[in-house]
Structure formats: structure tokens, C-alpha cells
């Protein structure tokens, strides 16, 4: 799909932003470039759509040298999402989404269909299509920026630190969204970040760069288990390396398959009885096919108990992790959201089970400290406690 052959980018001041890199990305891969500031990661990505021209070497897309392609035509075949979102403030959400399809001459009916399908995918109401960017929240605008890059059905999507300016919760939700859409639609994504947790969570393979050179190019698992050198070790961080062996397990291996659920057609009285019986303060709302719809909390029932409402009316959206998610990523999500537990769903959002913060943390503790380690630590603590105990003065001296 994309191939760098001995590519170098040297600026007029003599600095080599990218120094003789050779890489090959497969169709449908999620590739993440990461490195310190000035490492060449953004320059490398921008050369793919010729926003920056290489000084030497070749970049091939589907076997074709992009230097021999019209740059405007090339860019229309490649989606692009930037950190500042880049929505046109004077255009409606609809016009923002269909900007490239319109340039490509798609019929109006086809443009309308793709806009409606895409806004449905990101769980935003269709009436947003007639609004302007300023009428949406930052997170909602970012979702539009993502689907705009998908509107023309380009095979390649470039993403330049798209979530860097967002709060952690919004960022986490958008990471989940992008990864799901990429897998579902089979797109090749080239993503730039400076956040190692984001890279480990999203990437099929990671390109780690330093001073214009590729230091390591491998899967997240292999990088964690076998960092190429001291720079990579320091970049990953000691904590991630220590936890790597255990946290490479997936959520299915530690989830509890017994989850207390309620159908949205049940009455609030039935929901309360179920909570009391099971001694829980919330219920996951699922349909007859066990598709996860939301969460019903006892607080929400209490706030609305004097109103004539249904479960559908007062249930809330709930974050989840998908089957196959690594434990390290699930733990990060639980911590970011501040949840005690989080449901596990399959690719069609059917509820499979539940992982709790306690079960994940226990597993991490077990991986870092064995029973022997804990016994040794307890001995050290006891010894330290005795040694550091203040000496009590003799009663006579006090008197």
C-alpha cells in the first residue's frame, strides 16, 4: 500500500528532518509515527500526500511513485485530519463532510447518503448536519473531522496529532471511535502522536523515530518485550516495560461473564427490584439480542421517580472496551474515565462480560510483585518501623 524507499528530507539550512528511511505499510494497517520533537515523524507523514516533498528517495502508493502523480489528485485520494480539526466555520456540518465528494463530482443524492451514514456511525443526530461548527462541542467537532476524512471513501487516512488538544475523556472516546472505524472499514491509517500510551493503544505497528532516523519499527507487543536500544526503553518508560508481560493479555481472559442487565421495556419498579436483589447500584441496559444500549443508575431513577419516564428515557451512554482489547489499554481507559468497572462487547456491541478495576489492578500487582517479593517488603517495612520508632524518654527525666 505505502512504501518509503531511502527517503530523505533536507531543508535549505542543511538540517535533515528525515534521513534515509525505508518502510513498508500493508493495506488496512494502523501505523503510528512517534518520537521526540524534531524527530521527523510529522515530516514523514506529510510526504505521503506531498504536502512536503522529499529531497531524495521514492514514496510509492499502490506501487506508483507519487512524484509522478498530480499532487491535487493525490490529496483527493487521501483523507487528512489535523489537530485543529480544520472544519470550515462558514459551512454547515453537511457541507464540511461532503467537501471532497463534491469536488469529485458525486451526485447530490450520493453525497446526502454518505453524510447521513457517517454521522450515524459517530452517534450524532442527523439534524446536526444543518448546524455550523461553532454550535457543536469540541469533541463533536472532532468527530465530524474524523468522518469528513472518510467521506470520499479514500483508502488512506493521515492523522496529524488529531487528539492532542482534547481533554482525556474526550480523547479516549475518540481513540476508541477511530480504531473501531478503521477496523470496520478496512482503512490504512498513518497517525502521528507524541503520546506512547496512545501509540500502544491504536497501532498495529509503531515507527519510533529519533533525529530523522527510524530507531524501531514493530508491533506494540514486540516493542514492549524487546526494545531496540536505551532510547526506546527510556521513551517507553520503566512502568510500561515492567507491566508489559502481564498486560499483553486480553480482557476476555479476566472478565466476569455474569453481568446484571435489564431490558429497556422493563418498568423502573422492576429495575429497582433487580438492583435490590443483586445488591448493585446500576444495571446495564441490553436489548433482546444482548446488544449494549446504555446504563441505568439508581441515582437517575431517584432523580426521575416522580416523573412518568421509561428506562429508555433516563438511561445514559456507557463507555466500553471491545473483545481483544489488551488489559493495559483497558486499565488505562478505566483510570481515565474513573470507572469501577467497564463492560466488554464484541464487534457488534453485544455484551460479553465485565472487567472490574479491582481485578485488573490485582492482576497487575501479581505480575509486578510475587509472594516472595511481598514477604521481603513486609520484613523491610517491619524492620524500618522498629528502627525508626522514636526512643521514649525515661519518666524520671520528663518529670
The alpha carbon of residue 33 and the mean position of all alpha carbons in its chain are separated, in whole angstroms, by 15
Query: Across all residues in the chain, what is the average pLDDT?
Result: 84
| Helix (H) / strand (E) containing 109 | helix 108-121
- % of the chain residues with pLDDT over 90: 37
Is the pLDDT at 374 greater than 90, yes or no?
A: no
User: In the chain, where does the domain assigned CATH 3.10.580.10 lie?
Assistant: 240-399
Provide mean pLDDT across the span 120-142.
88
- The answer to whether residue 121 scores a pLDDT higher than 90 is no
Tens digit of each residue's pLDDT (9 = 90 or more) over 4-50 = 999 999 988 888 999 999 999 999 999 999 998 889 999 999 999 99
Range(s) for CATH 3.40.50.300 in the chain? 2-239
240-399 is classed CATH 3.10.580.10? yes
Which of the two residues, 112 and 335, has the higher pLDDT score? 112
Express each pLDDT in 301-317 by its tens digit.
888 877 788 888 889 88
Highest-pLDDT range among 22-26, 133-137, 325-329: 22-26
pTM over cut 0.75: no
Residue 248 is predicted with a pLDDT of 53
Residue labelled with grid coordinates 493495506: 27
Burial 365-395 (b: 16+ CB within 10 A, else e): eebeeeeeeeeeeeeeeeeeeeeeeeeeeee
Distance CA 59, CA 71 (A): 13
**What pLDDT, on the 0 to 100 scale, is given for residue 193?**
93
Task: Give, in order, the Cα–Cα distances in Å from 218 to each of 112, 160, 294.
Answer: 40, 20, 37
Give the CA count within 13 Å in the CB-facing half-sphere of 19: 13
What confidence category does residue 378 fall into, taking pLDDT thresholds of 50, 70 and 90? low
Q: Sign of the CA dihedral 109, 110, 113, 114?
A: negative
pLDDT digits (tens, 9 = 90+) for 150-163: 888 888 999 988 88
pLDDT at 361: 66
Residue 175 pLDDT more than 70?
yes
Q: What is the mean pLDDT of residues 173-200?
A: 89
For the four alpha carbons of 173, 178, 183 and 184, in that order, the dihedral sign comes to positive
User: Hunting for cell 483510570 — which residue is that?
Assistant: 335
pLDDT of residue 284: 93
Q: Which CATH superfamily is domain 2-239 in?
A: P-loop containing nucleotide triphosphate hydrolases (3.40.50.300)
Amino acid at each position: 500500500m505505502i512504501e518509503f524507499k531511502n527517503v530523505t528530507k533536507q531543508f535549505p539550512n542543511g538540517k535533515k528532518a528525515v534521513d534515509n528511511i525505508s518502510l513498508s505499510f500493508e493495506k488496512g494497517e494502523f501505523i503510528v509515527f512517534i518520537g521526540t520533537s524534531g524527530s521527523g515523524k510529522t515530516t514523514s507523514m506529510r510526504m505521503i500526500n506531498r504536502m512536503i516533498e522529499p529531497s531524495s528517495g521514492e514514496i510509492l502508493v499502490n506501487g506508483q511513485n507519487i512524484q509522478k502523480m498530480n499532487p491535487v489528485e493525490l490529496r483527493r485520494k487521501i483523507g487528512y485530519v489535523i489537530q485543529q480539526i480544520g472544519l470550515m466555520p462558514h459551512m454547515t456540518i453537511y457541507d464540511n463532510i461532503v467537501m471532497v465528494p463534491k469536488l469529485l463530482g458525486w451526485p447530490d443524492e450520493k453525497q446526502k447518503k454518505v453524510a447521513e451514514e457517517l454521522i450515524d456511525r459517530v452517534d450524532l443526530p442527523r439534524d446536526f448536519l444543518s448546524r455550523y461548527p461553532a454550535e457543536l462541542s469540541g469533541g463533536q467537532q472532532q468527530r465530524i473531522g474524523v468522518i469528513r476524512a472518510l467521506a470520499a471513501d479514500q483508502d488512506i487516512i493521515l492523522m496529524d496529532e488529531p487528539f492532542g488538544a482534547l481533554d482525556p475523556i474526550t480523547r479516549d472516546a475518540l481513540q476508541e471511535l477511530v480504531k473501531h472505524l478503521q477496523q470496520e472499514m478496512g482503512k490504512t491509517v498513518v497517525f502521528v502522536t507524541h503520546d506512547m500510551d496512545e501509540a500502544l493503544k491504536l497501532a498495529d505497528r509503531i515507527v519510533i523515530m529519533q533525529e530523522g532516523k527510524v530507531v524501531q519499527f514493530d508491533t506494540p507487543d514486540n516493542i514492549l518485550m524487546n526494545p531496540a536500544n536505551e532510547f526506546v526503553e527510556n521513551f517507553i518508560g520503566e512502568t510500561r516495560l515492567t507491566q508489559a508481560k502481564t498486560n499483553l493479555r486480553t480482557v476476555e481472559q479476566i472478565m466476569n461473564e455474569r453481568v446484571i442487565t435489564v431490558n429497556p421495556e422493563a418498568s423502573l419498579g422492576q429495575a429497582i427490584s433487580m438492583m435490590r436483589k443483586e445488591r448493585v447500584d446500576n444495571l446495564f441496559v441490553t436489548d433482546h439480542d444482548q446488544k449494549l444500549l446504555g446504563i441505568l443508575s439508581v441515582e437517575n431513577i431517584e432523580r426521575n421517580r416522580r416523573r412518568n419516564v421509561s428506562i429508555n428515557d433516563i438511561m445514559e451512554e456507557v463507555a466500553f472496551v471491545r473483545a481483544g482489547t489488551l488489559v493495559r489499554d483497558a486499565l488505562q481507559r478505566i483510570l481515565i474515565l474513573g470507572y469501577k468497572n467497564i463492560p466488554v462487547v464484541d464487534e457488534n456491541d453485544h455484551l460479553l462480560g465485565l472487567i472490574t478495576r479491582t481485578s485488573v489492578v490485582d492482576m497487575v500487582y501479581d505480575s509486578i510483585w510475587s509472594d516472595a517479593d511481598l514477604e521481603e517488603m513486609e520484613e523491610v517495612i517491619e524492620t524500618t518501623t522498629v528502627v525508626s520508632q522514636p526512643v521514649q524518654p525515661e519518666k524520671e527525666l520528663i518529670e
